[in-house]
């Protein structure tokens, strides 16, 4: 509608053509689209489900960059705990809770690694943590 002045409303154009139920206006029907219209709707219905499954699978696997980010995050966690243990050793106030956190961090990392070099380093860290734990237990018994 068009407002023409203070008192009148007039029509600015003729009636609009009715749109189809699918919300599309003007459309050219070609022989390819007319014959395969049923097939297209079936494919589009399953395509949405397959897309979601593919996205979930991609999120689980992750690319090489995502795997590297997770590995760096886990390694950072182990290095943080090792730093706290180093400070505790230097101050003479090492607690068994810190050593236990280190054991858990190493155990979590072991589940996600397939590198023999990294496995060897984790073995050495775990052995040293066990030695320090034994020292703490021995000094606790002596006191």
Residue-wise pLDDT for 5-62, tens only, equals 666 565 555 555 555 555 566 777 766 655 555 555 555 555 555 566 766 666 666 6
Residue 32's pLDDT is 62
Tens digits of residue pLDDT in 110-119: 777 777 888 8
**Structural domain spans, the chain:** 31-61, 64-142
| Reported confidence tier of residue 140, pLDDT bands at 50, 70, 90 | confident
Closest CA to 126 of 136, 118, 138, 114: 118
Closest CA to 96 of 140, 33, 52, 40: 140
Tens digits of residue pLDDT in 59-111: 666 677 877 787 788 888 889 998 998 898 899 888 888 888 888 888 887 77
Distant-in-sequence, close-in-space partners of 136: CB < 8 Å, separation ≥ 6:
94, 95, 96, 99
Q: pTM of the predicted model, to two decimals?
A: 0.49
Report how far residue 31's alpha carbon sits from residue 98's, in angstroms, rounded to the nearest whole number. 73
Q: Is 17 helix (H, G, I), strand (E, B) or coil?
A: coil
**Size of the chain in residues:** 143
């Amino acid at each position: 509608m068009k407002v023409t002045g203070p008192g009148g409303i007039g029509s600015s154009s003729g009636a609009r053509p009715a749109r189809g139920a699918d919300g599309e206006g003007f459309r050219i029907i070609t022989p390819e689209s007319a014959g395969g219209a049923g097939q297209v709707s079936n494919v589009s219905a399953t395509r949405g489900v397959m897309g979601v499954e593919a996205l979930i699978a991609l999120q689980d696997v992750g690319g090489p960059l995502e795997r590297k980010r997770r590995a760096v995050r886990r390694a950072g966690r182990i290095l943080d705990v090792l730093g706290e243990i180093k400070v505790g050793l230097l101050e003479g106030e090492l607690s068994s809770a810190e050593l236990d956190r280190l054991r858990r961090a190493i155990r979590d990392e072991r589940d996600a690694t397939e590198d023999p070099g990294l496995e060897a380093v984790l073995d050495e860290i775990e052995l040293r943590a066990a030695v320090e734990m034994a020292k703490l237990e021995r000094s606790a018994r002596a006191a």
